[in-house]
Structures are given as C-alpha cells and as structure tokens.
C-alpha cells in the first residue's frame, strides 16, 4: 500500500511537471494580448506547414496583420 502511495505522488508530480512545461511553452509562443501565435512561432513553423500543405490536399492560408498602436485599439 505504501508503494502505491509513493507511485501516486510520483504520477502527480509528473502531471504537474507536464502542466508547467505546457504553460511555459504556451507563454513562449502565444501573444498575451491577442491570444494568437506570435511572429517568432509562425516564422519557425511556416516552412513545415507549407511543405505539409503541398504534400496533402489541405490548403494553407496565412493572414498577417501589422497594426500600428495596437494597444490603443
């Protein structure tokens, strides 16, 4: 029974670690103001998405907005 308790704690720690890693990843690639992927993420992944789109029947669309003084909007 004690072994099961330790195992459960270990699993809970793993789950917490995964959540923290996911939140850290999300904060590094998602813009806090717009909740969309940031420019760095898009540029890092755009080539792979283009290749995937060309090799499949899935179309790819990219819309890029550059708003001056966005925080005032």
pLDDT per position as a tens digit, 28-73 = 888 887 788 888 888 888 889 889 999 998 888 888 777 787 777 6
- With respect to residue 68, please indicate whether it lies within any of the assigned structural domains: no
Q: Is residue 47 part of a domain?
A: yes
56 part of a folded domain: yes
Q: Domain for residue 38, yes or no?
A: yes
- Model-wide pTM > 0.85: no
**pLDDT reported for residue 21:** 67
Q: Is 8 left (phi over 0), alpha (psi -120 to 50) or beta?
A: alpha
Residue 53, in any domain of the structure? yes
Q: What is the DSSP letter of 70?
A: G
Number of domains in the chain: 1
Position 54 scores a pLDDT of 92
Instruction: Write down the pLDDT at residue 20.
Output: 54
Taking alpha carbons only, the member of 42, 44, 48 closest to residue 62 is: 42
- Domain range spanning residue 29? 2-62
Residue 7 belongs to a domain: yes
Instruction: Establish if 72 belongs to a structural domain.
Output: no
Residue 49 within a domain: yes
Residue range 6-22: mean pLDDT, rounded: 53
pLDDT at 14: 55
């Amino acid at each position: 029974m004690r072994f099961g308790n330790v195992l459960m704690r270990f699993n809970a720690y793993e789950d917490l670690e995964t959540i923290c890693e996911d939140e850290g990843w999300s904060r590094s690639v998602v813009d806090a103001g717009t909740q969309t992927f940031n420019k760095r993420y898009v540029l890092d992944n755009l080539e792979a998405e283009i290749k995937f789109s060309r090799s499949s029947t899935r179309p790819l669309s990219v819309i890029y907005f550059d708003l001056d003084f966005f925080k005032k909007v």
